[in-house]
């Protein structure tokens, strides 16, 4: 009797040990091996934010719990202008800043802002950016910043010109017009080539600048005009000139990247690739919807012909050599881009 009791106690103890050990193994498997913190400044409704949210969830699912992702949008962690320093110092593992945030660190990113790309379609931009030359630019970002570029870039869309004056409908009408720019050598020099007057105005000050006629034009996108409702500040017309094609760059801290095993690196790249095409399509729809909204608000949109855009591209390209020197873009990359894009 006592022997049976001892046997049952021993069996119960063994079962408890097995349960505890099994639970510990299960808990260990449920504890992520790697944490990826991602920071962006766009709001939850933005197509870029939505794509990164999908990437985050799909990566967690594909890794089967090995990777956890903490994604914070709306500049909850960092503004994009500050996120490079945060990324390289390890305060976040990943960011997707606009390319206009990178050329101050990596001058070769400014290649895509040159007059060579003025008036080009999205497909023409993809033909270069998604190919060998685009890979070379991404490698420059990697080497200069100490980051890993995960793959193809996400879209924002074309920047165009918008005016308080309905009479600005042709490039010839740009002479003497004061136009707000967010900054950048290429933006300034391109407009100066058209005899316009570029004026650097911080975004929070734009409403007053328009109201008090300090500027009569704005370089931005359809979606930005719509979201800011700039018709309330006097915007009445647009010259849809496709000044440049804006994108976002997916970058990861290289030290964190190098700690990932090869299978997880491949998984990260594959998961990113799966969201790019859908995001680009969504960005195009967002810009088209914004364009429709502008028309509904009575904003007149003038679309230059391909021949007109080519003509004025050549006008701006007369300043390109000086721009390349001032911006510090590698002339070899420029020559390669010209060979691909033509005139």
Q: Please give the model's pTM, rounded to 2 decimal places.
A: 0.86
pLDDT for the residue 204: 82
Beta bridge partners of 67: 34
Residue 151 CA to residue 146 CA, distance in Å, equals 16
Q: Write the pLDDT tens digit of every residue in 32-71.
A: 899 999 999 888 888 999 999 999 999 999 999 999 999 9
243: buried, middle or exposed (CB in 10 Å: 19+, 13-18, 0-12)? buried
Q: Write the pLDDT tens digit of every residue in 8-25.
A: 544 544 444 444 444 443
Alpha helices in 72-221 (DSSP H): 80-88, 122-129, 132-145, 185-193, 206-211
261: buried, middle or exposed (CB in 10 Å: 19+, 13-18, 0-12)? exposed
Residue 77 CA to residue 89 CA, distance in Å, equals 14
pLDDT for the residue 30: 67
pLDDT for the residue 202: 84
pLDDT for the residue 6: 46
pLDDT for the residue 23: 42
List average pLDDT for each run of 10 residues in the chain, which is 343 residues long.
Answer: 46 45 44 94 89 97 96 91 92 94 92 96 96 97 96 97 94 97 90 96 90 95 92 97 96 97 98 97 96 97 96 95 95 96 80
- What residue has token string 């195009």? 284
How many CA atoms within 13 Å lie on the side-chain side of 342? 4
pLDDT for the residue 123: 96
pLDDT for the residue 227: 87
Residue 330 CA to residue 326 CA, distance in Å, equals 11
Residue 95 CA to residue 55 CA, distance in Å, equals 12
Backbone dihedral angles phi then psi of residue 69, each to the nearest 5 degrees: -120, 130
Residue 211 CA to residue 234 CA, distance in Å, equals 7
> Cβ distance 131 to 76 under 8 Å?
no
């Amino acid at each position: 009797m006592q022997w049976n009791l001892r046997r049952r106690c021993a069996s119960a103890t063994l079962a408890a040990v097995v349960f505890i050990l099994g639970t510990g193994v299960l808990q260990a498997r449920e504890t992520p091996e790697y944490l990826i913190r991602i920071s962006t400044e766009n709001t939850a409704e933005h197509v870029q934010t939505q794509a990164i949210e999908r990437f985050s969830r799909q990566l967690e699912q594909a890794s089967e719990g090995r990777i956890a992702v903490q994604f914070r949008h709306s500049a909850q962690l960092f503004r994009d202008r500050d996120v490079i320093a945060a990324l390289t110092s390890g305060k976040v593992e990943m960011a997707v800043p606009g390319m206009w945030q990178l050329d101050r660190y990596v001058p070769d990113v400014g290649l895509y802002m040159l007059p060579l790309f003025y008036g080009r379609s999205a497909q023409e931009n993809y033909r270069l950016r998604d190919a060998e030359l685009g890979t070379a630019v991404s490698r420059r970002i990697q080497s200069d910043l100490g980051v890993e570029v995960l793959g193809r870039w996400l879209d924002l869309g074309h920047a165009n010109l918008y005016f308080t004056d309905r009479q600005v409908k042709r490039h010839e009408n740009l002479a003497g017009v004061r136009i707000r720019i967010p900054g950048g050598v290429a933006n300034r020099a391109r407009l100066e080539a058209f005899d316009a007057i570029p004026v650097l105005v911080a975004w929070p000050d734009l409403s007053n600048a328009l109201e008090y006629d300090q500027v009569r034009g704005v370089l931005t996108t359809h979606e930005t005009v719509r979201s800011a409702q700039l018709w309330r500040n006097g915007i009445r017309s647009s010259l849809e000139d496709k000044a440049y094609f804006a994108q976002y760059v997916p970058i990861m801290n290289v030290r964190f990247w190098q700690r990932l095993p090869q299978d997880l690196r491949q998984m990260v790249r594959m998961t990113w690739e799966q969201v790019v095409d859908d995001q680009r399509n969504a960005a195009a729809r967002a810009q088209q919807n914004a364009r429709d909204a502008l028309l509904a608000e009575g904003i007149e949109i003038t679309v230059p012909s391909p021949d007109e855009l080519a003509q004025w591209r050549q006008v701006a390209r007369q300043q390109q050599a000086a721009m390349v020197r001032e911006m510090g873009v590698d002339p070899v990359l420029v020559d390669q881009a010209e060979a691909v894009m033509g005139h």
